[in-house]
Amino acid sequence: MVILERPFVSDLMVDTLKKNSIPVLRNEMSELRVSDGVVLGDQAFSDEYKKAGKLYTVSENALGWIYEHIEDKRFLDSISLVKDKSAFRSICRDIYPDFFFKEVSVNELEKLDTNSLVFPCVIKPSVGFLSKGVFVVHNAEDYRKAVESLLRDFTTAGADFPEFVVGRSRFLIEEYIRGEEFAVDTYYDEHETPVILNIFHHKFMDESDTSDRLYMTSKRLFDRYEQPFTEFLTHLNKTLHLRNFPMHIEFRYDGKKAVPIEINPLRFTGFCLNELQVFISGQHPMLSFLRGTHVTKEEMWRGKENYTYAFTVLDLPAGDENKTFNEAKFRADYHDVIDVRLVPDKSSGVAATVFLRIETENEGQFDGIMSLDMREYMR
């Protein structure tokens, strides 16, 4: 069972839903994209969920409908727990007893005594989407500038996303987490056991970079991290007790300890970027969750052992809202493009997403994407 919502649904997702006759909730997006598929009204979809016990969404814009129509307290409590970053930090206090975090209201942001903070730290919405409203600050002056920018930006962001997606009323201030950042698409099965589908290295230019610009994966990455990340997810669920629950989790790992940054419930990597898996293994990760089967690491990487795959979120430059992404120029500059997906919904702030592949020994060539000036690729 799947709920389609803004800001983006790929053609590959639509084809997969139709081919496998997967029930979809009737709403504006499904009427637009899969009106000839198995589309169910509110009550029929709710009733079907009671039988199936599994639900997948493509965006957290679907959470409002779920809270209103799904009568499953355990399920709803699980969503609220992982979506609310402050609540998540609180319940994990026993796992990370020395981790500094503080939740404040919008009004408290400007009045806060910065002497009470641990620098460097991160300011972000307690409930958020993508990297909207996320700031890394290193001192009191950084904090002042971040708050000014945050309050200004959220006047606009609040109009683009529902309250339960970008929660404007509360913000989390927490210590900066050291280590390399990873993004993992996983689900907990009916036995609360984690199944890892995607492992991505989330690359940044520096400590102040909070963008979603570049993610990479390879067999080498799976060989190194699949086991320790599975152990980490297993340990985490001894506290969370999630079951039949798909999610996208981001965390920092210093080689010894993994600390979660955030968990996005009921979906895998946003903008359908989890579908990089399809180009590698041939199976859609949504199907892996719904059917309880997945491609093993050995099957996934057979014949692709020497390649690194990547995807990039290309932002829409301010002032270029009436322009479109110059796909031809991008393909000319980057010769290992697998697929380009234009994002028609301008409110998302994304112009396009791109899937790429390169021989692992040359993967350093992807680094230039992080500093890409998107104004050069708009027309």
Same domain, 39 and 97: no
Same domain, 146 and 15: no
Same domain, 271 and 362: yes
Same domain, 89 and 209: no
Q: What is the pLDDT of residue 165?
A: 45
Same domain, 54 and 163: no
- What is the per-residue DSSP string for 16-52? HHHHTT--EE-SHHHHHH-TTS-EE-HHHHHHHHHHH
* 76 found inside a domain: no
* 25 found inside a domain: yes
Q: Which domain holds residue 150?
A: 84-175
Residue where a domain stops, chosen among 126, 155, 175: 175
Residue where a domain stops, chosen among 37, 71, 105: 71
Q: What is the pLDDT of residue 367?
A: 87
* 341 found inside a domain: yes
Same domain, 221 and 332: yes
* 111 found inside a domain: yes
Beta strands in 30-151 (DSSP E): 39-40, 56-57, 101-105, 121-125, 135-137
Q: In this structure, what CATH number is given to the domain that contains residue 164?
A: 3.30.1490.20
Same domain, 297 and 353: yes
pTM: 0.85
Q: In this structure, what CATH number is given to the domain that contains residue 242?
A: 3.30.470.20
Same domain, 231 and 361: yes
* 79 found inside a domain: no
- Residue whose token pair is 């919405």: 125
Residue where a domain stops, chosen among 148, 175, 202: 175
Strand order in the sheet with 135-137: 101-105, 170-175, 121-125, 135-137
Same domain, 65 and 98: no
Are β-strands 337-342 and 350-359 bridged in parallel, bridged antiparallel, or unpaired?
antiparallel
Same domain, 21 and 115: no
* 287 found inside a domain: yes
Same domain, 99 and 132: yes
Q: How many domains does the chain divide into? A: 3
* 77 found inside a domain: no
* 349 found inside a domain: yes
Contact in structure between 10 and 341 (CB atoms under 8 Å): yes
Same domain, 145 and 252: no
Could you read off the pLDDT tens digit of each residue along the chain, which spans 379 residues? 999 999 899 999 999 999 999 999 999 999 999 989 999 999 999 999 999 999 999 998 999 999 999 999 999 999 998 888 888 888 888 888 989 999 998 888 888 999 999 999 999 887 654 445 688 999 999 999 999 888 776 655 554 445 544 444 688 899 998 899 999 999 999 999 999 999 999 998 887 777 889 999 999 999 999 999 999 999 999 999 999 999 999 999 988 888 888 899 999 998 888 999 999 999 999 999 999 988 999 999 999 999 999 999 999 999 998 999 999 999 999 889 999 999 988 888 899 999 999 999 999 888 889 889 999 999 9
Contact in structure between 50 and 322 (CB atoms under 8 Å): no
Q: How far is the first Cα of the chain from the last one, in angstroms, to the nearest whole number?
A: 39
Give the up-direction half-sphere exposure of residue 304: CA atoms within 13 A in the CB hemisphere. Answer: 20
- What is the per-residue DSSP string for 234-249? HHHHHHH---SEEEEE
Q: What is the pLDDT of residue 131?
A: 47
